[in-house]
C-alpha cells in the first residue's frame, strides 16, 4: 500500500512532526511506501481560488493543485496529522482539503449529485490538543470534529475512516516518557491497521 502523510504543523520540531515521522517509519517497516506532505515546508497555498470553484463553467485548477493531485493519484491511505486549534484543524489543512480533495480529485459531478472518486481508499488521523482528553470528549469537540471533518470528507470522496487517534493534554515541555507513549500508540495503530495478519 502507499500512504500519504499530510502534516499540518508549522514547526518541524513539534510533536506532530515527530508523530508523522513515527507513522512513516512504522508503515515502511511493514513494507508500505510513504510520502510525507509537510504543508508548511512545501509552502502550500490554502486559499481556494475563484476559478477553482465549480459553477456554470468548469473549474480551472492552478499548477500547484494539479501537481499535488498527480502526486496523490495512487495513494491508498491518507494519514492526517495535525493539532486542534479552536477545536478544529489548522487553516492550512482545511485549505488543502478545499483545493486538493474537491471536484476533479475527490469527487466528480454526476446525475443526482456528486460521485465519490476515492472509494476504497482509507483515512486515518492523529490529532493533538493542549486540552485534556476528557475535556475534548465531554464538550463534544471530538464528536463534532469527527462528524464535520472526518466523516464529511470521507462521505464526499468515498474514503473509509479507519481510525482517529487523539492525544490530549499535550504541553510544550512534554516529557520524554510521555512522548514515547504517544509514539508507541502511533506504531501500534499502524501495526493494527496495516500489519500482515498472522495465522
One DSSP character per residue, 74-121 reads T-SEEEEEEE-BTTB--HHHHHHHHHHSSBTTTEEEETTEEEES-TT-
Contacts of 193 (CB under 8 A, 6+ apart): 122, 124, 162, 163
Report the chain's mean pLDDT, rounded to a whole number.
Answer: 93
Model confidence at 199, pLDDT cuts 50, 70, 90, reads very low
Phi-psi region of 86 (alpha: psi -120 to 50; beta: other; left: phi over 0): left
Q: What is residue 197's predicted lDDT score, i.e. its pLDDT?
A: 58
Q: What is residue 57's predicted lDDT score, i.e. its pLDDT?
A: 85
Q: Which CATH number fits domain 2-194: 3.40.50.360, 3.40.50.2300, 1.10.3720.10, 3.90.1150.10?
A: 3.40.50.360
Residue 11 has pLDDT above 60, yes or no: yes
Separation between Cα atoms, residue 64 and residue 62, nearest integer Å: 6
More confident residue, 192 or 114: 192
Domain residue ranges in the chain: 2-194
Is residue 194 within 8 Å of residue 156, measured between CB atoms?
Answer: no
**Rounded average pLDDT over 70-94:** 96
Distance of CA 25 to the CA centre of its chain: 17
Give tens-digit pLDDT for 116-155: 999 999 999 999 999 888 898 888 889 999 999 999 999 9
Amino acid at each position: 500500500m502507499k500512504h500519504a502523510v499530510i502534516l499540518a504543523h508549522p514547526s518541524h520540531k513539534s510533536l506532530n512532526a515527530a508523530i508523522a515521522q513515527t507513522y512513516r517509519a512504522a508503515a515502511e517497516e511493514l513494507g508500505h511506501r510513504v510520502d510525507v506532505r509537510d504543508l508548511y515546508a512545501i509552502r502550500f497555498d490554502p486559499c481556494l481560488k475563484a476559478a477553482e470553484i465549480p459553477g456554470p463553467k468548469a473549474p480551472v485548477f492552478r499548477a500547484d493543485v494539479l501537481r499535488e493531485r498527480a502526486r496523490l493519484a495512487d495513494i491508498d491511505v491518507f494519514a492526517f496529522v495535525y493539532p486542534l486549534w479552536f477545536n478544529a484543524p489548522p487553516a492550512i489543512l482545511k485549505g488543502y482539503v478545499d483545493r486538493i480533495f474537491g471536484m476533479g480529485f475527490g469527487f466528480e459531478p454526476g446525475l443526482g449529485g456528486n460521485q465519490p472518486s476515492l472509494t476504497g481508499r482509507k483515512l486515518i488521523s492523529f490529532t493533538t490538543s493542549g486540552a485534556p482528553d476528557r475535556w475534548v470528549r465531554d464538550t463534544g469537540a471530538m464528536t463534532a470534529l469527527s462528524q464535520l471533518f472526518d466523516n464529511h470528507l470521507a462521505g464526499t470522496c468515498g474514503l473509509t475512516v479507519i481510525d482517529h487517534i487523539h492525544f490530549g493534554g499535550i504541553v510544550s515541555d512534554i516529557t520524554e516518557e510521555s512522548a514515547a507513549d504517544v509514539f508507541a500508540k502511533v506504531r501500534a495503530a499502524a501495526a493494527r491497521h496495516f500489519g500482515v495478519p498472522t495465522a
